[in-house]
Amino acid sequence: MRLRLLGLGLLMLFGAAGVRAAGDDTPMWLQQATKVSVPAYEKDLPAVVLQREQHVTVSDDGRITTVTLFAVRILIREGRGYAEAREYYESDAGKVREMHAWLIRPSGQIKKYGKDDIIDEVEDPNDIYNESRFKMIDASNEAEAGAIFGYQATTEERSIFAQDVWSFQNRLPAIASRYTLTLPSGWSARSVTFNHAKIEPTISGSTYTWELQNLSPIVPEPSSPRVSSLAPRIAISYFPPGDTQPANFKIFSNWAEVSYWLTQLHDPQSTPNDAMSEKTRQLTANAKTELEKIRAIGSFVQAIRYISIDIGVSRGGGMRPHLATEVFAKSYGDCKDKANLMRAMLKVLGITAYPVAIYSGDADYVREEWASPNQFNHCIIAIKISDETQAATVLAHPKLGRLLIFDPTDDDTPVGDLPGQEQGSLALIVAGEAGSLMRMPVTPAETNLLDRRVEAKLDADGSLTATIRETATGRWAVGYRSEFRHLSRSDYQKVIEGWITAGATGAKLRKVEPRDDMAASRFDLDIDLTATGYAQLMQDRLLVFKPAIVSRRESLSLTEAKRKHPIVLRATAYSETVQVQLPAGFVVDEMPDPVKLDTSFGSYATTYEVKEGQLIFTRKLVQNAATIPVEQYNTVRGFFEKIRAAEQAPVVLARK
């Protein structure tokens, strides 16, 4: 579900280029931008934004005109991709009236791009029909280090929302970033600032300007928050005199109003017909419990092909699902269509369900202080359940009771679980005036467990044969399942081989046997392997090997001495038992000390034991969901460094 943001049609993928001749005129704003002095940055920074500006003019009849100015300096060859200009628009109610771009080469030569260089494409080519489009000028192939790209565009549109969102930067640093809003006489605007101290506008009559300068780059770091939770942005609402509801715009003062408005779009679309009712009864004929019935319907809806048909987005139509009967008959739809179909089918069983508006991709994106449907980009479902149904994704709503949260679009995540990028996020339960913003469930670590059992035999020449049996549940199972389903058999085999040989160099796989049980949120994987020379034979009397034969396939490497952003950890658990049959004539000479680590965000432990000619090694990790302040970086870094050292620690065998 693409809930379009009023000026976010300016995703500005850090633009590029046009060319003519050195004598060509360039606009004054771009000439001035080329004279801006650029600070010294890290040598691998691809580009710096010189100017990022948007001027929005609102008419009281619902027309909105947006002028975009953007200039970027390419610093290194890898930054050429930022020489691309994109302007989004809704074909049903908008247009890109004008678009020009310029590429100023280090030599001073200027290339200008105009109408003949513009590409007009649909936003999502997988959609059957989509009124969301963009116009693009791509100069990435002609850009070079030291070049400056700038573009200017004017768009016109109509929107039902008296709201807008502006992000001051993406990952690139920005020398100057500015958003200007001009309203009809007598109107006023209010803004909320996210990811930055309050940004107050300068006001001249009915024109408001918000500006930031010299924004540092947002450098990628392992397990850091998403850029959308780090880059400064403002959310703006505007009002006619007296704060009355304007005829051509929709204004929301609280989340109950947003819920009520969305309910009017969703509820009329979720009425089942006879064919749907019959199919529902067939699917649940053998289901004995409430949860089994929900799972049967959920699996059916997940199998419906995801295809979007966005119509009337600018008028709110893009937020309205298609009729459940149409989606059922055609067997395709987008996220809101799938949620709506599942509601209708559950209604046949007497089970009430509600749409849930959510932002998928950043669990920290939605903020409570700005009531707007424009904060969401996805739709899932909340199912009212009795006390008999127990699952990790149940929450208690103060008015609606126990609700089971489920995403019918994600076909790798079963009922009772929730995709990781949605866990913990604020989402709107759409239930008329009873609807409210609520924090989505976070599954505990023990529900996201990878349990591994390894039985191995080590020969006197260092060769190893081993059987690995893994049982994955929760988030681990989702990852394993997605890998198995979406890769070809040969590619899947290569991924498994790559993982195994990363720990056991030269290993050969004799068997790879995956088994998926989605209903139980479980995935099993059995592997047989051989590895010649796994243990290092030294002076014909010592054998040295790592009992941690293969990696956990998911580890956090924090190698930098300093860090700028918080550390985001997801709830997960891992346990492993390795039994190695020692070669005849060898005994354990040296063995690592056991490790035991306990912190507020997780724990880790290893043990070693020799019993009846076998070395028994265990390791266990429990990692809790947490966002840890950057001030505690050294604590987190030290925790994972100790884990890495423990898993590389060798055992030494000696001949008797």
What single string gives the DSSP state of each residue in 243-262? G---SS-B--SSHHHHHHHH
Distance (Å, whole) CA 386 – CA 588: 57
> If you average pLDDT over each of 56-70, 232-246, 594-608, which comes out highest?
594-608
Q: What is the pLDDT of residue 167?
A: 97
Average pLDDT on 556-581 reads 94
Q: Are 594 and 607 in contact (CB under 8 A)?
A: yes
Closest CA to 370 of 235, 511, 462, 262: 235
Distance (Å, whole) CA 335 – CA 377: 10
Where do the domains of the chain lie, and which CATH numbers do they carry? 46-243 (2.60.40.3140), 258-442 (3.10.620.30), 446-655 (2.60.120.1130)
Q: What is the pLDDT of residue 489?
A: 95
**Tokens describing residue 237:** 């609402």
| 152 band by pLDDT with thresholds 50, 70 and 90 | very high
Using CA atoms of 252, 257, 260, 263 in order, give the dihedral in degrees to the nearest 10. 40
Q: Which CA distances in Å does 209 have to 57, 143, 158, 161, 177?
A: 12, 32, 22, 20, 11
Average pLDDT on 217-246 reads 90
Distance (Å, whole) CA 217 – CA 300: 45
Q: What is the pLDDT of residue 98?
A: 93
Q: Rounded to the nearest 5°, which phi and psi values hold at 374? A: -75, 0
Give the lowest-confidence range in 242-256, 290-304, 517-531, 578-592: 242-256
For 654, residues 6+ apart whose C-beta sits below 8 A from its C-beta are 541, 542, 543, 586, 587, 589
Distance (Å, whole) CA 272 – CA 270: 6
Give the lowest-confidence range in 90-104, 194-208, 507-521: 90-104
| 123 band by pLDDT with thresholds 50, 70 and 90 | low
Closest CA to 8 of 129, 132, 101, 191: 132
Q: What is the pLDDT of residue 350?
A: 97
| 557 band by pLDDT with thresholds 50, 70 and 90 | confident
Average pLDDT on 124-132 reads 58
Q: What is the pLDDT of residue 130?
A: 55
Distance (Å, whole) CA 195 – CA 231: 6
Q: Which CA distances in Å does 134 have to 9, 87, 209, 387?
A: 8, 5, 26, 49
Instruction: State pLDDT tens for residues 614-646.
Output: 999 999 999 999 999 999 999 999 999 999 999
Average pLDDT on 492-514 reads 94
The order of strands in the sheet holding 542-545 is 536-538, 542-545, 651-655, 586-590
Q: Rounded to the nearest 5°, which phi and psi values hold at 447? A: -85, -10
Q: What is the pLDDT of residue 360?
A: 92
For 642, residues 6+ apart whose C-beta sits below 8 A from its C-beta are 595, 597, 604
Average pLDDT on 261-275 reads 96
| CA end-to-end distance (rounded Å), the chain | 69
- Note the Cα 463 to chain centre separation in Å: 43
Average pLDDT on 102-116 reads 93
Q: What pairs with residue 211 in β-bridges?
A: 178
Instruction: State pLDDT tens for residues 27-57.
Output: 999 999 999 989 999 999 999 999 999 999 9
| Top-confidence residue, 580 or 239 | 580
Q: Are 357 and 377 in contact (CB under 8 A)?
A: no
* CA dihedral for 15, 142, 105, 144, sign (positive or negative): positive
Residue 106, pLDDT > 70, answer yes
Give the lowest-confidence range in 89-98, 120-129, 327-336: 120-129
Average pLDDT on 276-301 reads 97
Q: What is the pLDDT of residue 124?
A: 64
Q: What is the pLDDT of residue 12?
A: 32
The order of strands in the sheet holding 401-406 is 394-397, 401-406, 378-384, 353-358, 426-429, 436-439
Q: Which amino acid is at 326?
A: E
Instruction: State pLDDT tens for residues 415-435.
Output: 999 999 999 999 999 999 999
Q: Are 563 and 221 in contact (CB under 8 A)?
A: yes
Q: What is the pLDDT of residue 160?
A: 82
| 10 band by pLDDT with thresholds 50, 70 and 90 | very low
Distance (Å, whole) CA 392 – CA 339: 20
Average pLDDT on 537-554 reads 91
Q: What pairs with residue 167 in β-bridges?
A: 233
Average pLDDT on 401-419 reads 96
Q: What is the DSSP string of 358-427?
A: E-SS-TT---TTS--GGG--EEEEEEE--TT---TTEEEETTTEEEEEE-SS-TTS-TT---TTTTT-EE
Q: What is the pLDDT of residue 23?
A: 40
Closest CA to 318 of 132, 456, 119: 132
Residues in the chain: 656
Task: Give the three-class secondary structure for 319.
Answer: helix
Q: Which CA distances in Å does 156 have to 101, 185, 281?
A: 18, 20, 50
Mean of per-residue pLDDT scores for the chain: 91
Proportion of the chain above pLDDT 70, given as a percent: 92
Eight-state DSSP code of residue 433: B
For 314, residues 6+ apart whose C-beta sits below 8 A from its C-beta are 4, 90, 92, 93, 94, 131, 157, 158, 159, 160
Closest CA to 63 of 155, 180, 197: 155
- Note the Cα 458 to chain centre separation in Å: 43
Instruction: State pLDDT tens for residues 310-369.
Output: 544 444 446 889 999 999 999 999 999 999 999 999 999 999 999 999 999 999 999 999
Average pLDDT on 121-150 reads 80
Distance (Å, whole) CA 277 – CA 349: 9
Residue 127, pLDDT > 70, answer no
Q: Which CA distances in Å does 304 have to 290, 327, 344?
A: 22, 9, 14
Distance (Å, whole) CA 438 – CA 451: 33
Q: Which CA distances in Å does 37 have to 48, 49, 174, 293?
A: 11, 12, 12, 64
pTM of the model: 0.89
What string of H, E and C letters represents the secondary structure of 158-171? ECCECEEEEECCCC
Residue 62, pLDDT > 70, answer yes
**Tokens describing residue 570:** 């997801």
**Tokens describing residue 19:** 């060319």
Q: Rounded to the nearest 5°, which phi and psi values hold at 483? A: -60, -45
Residue 600, pLDDT > 90, answer yes
Strands 353-358 and 426-429: antiparallel
Distance (Å, whole) CA 275 – CA 278: 5
Closest CA to 557 of 628, 640, 498: 640
Instruction: State pLDDT tens for residues 442-476.
Output: 999 999 999 999 999 999 999 999 999 999 999 99
| Top-confidence residue, 118 or 354 | 354
- Note the Cα 316 to chain centre separation in Å: 24
Q: Are 384 and 401 in contact (CB under 8 A)?
A: yes
Distance (Å, whole) CA 38 – CA 217: 13
| Top-confidence residue, 15 or 167 | 167
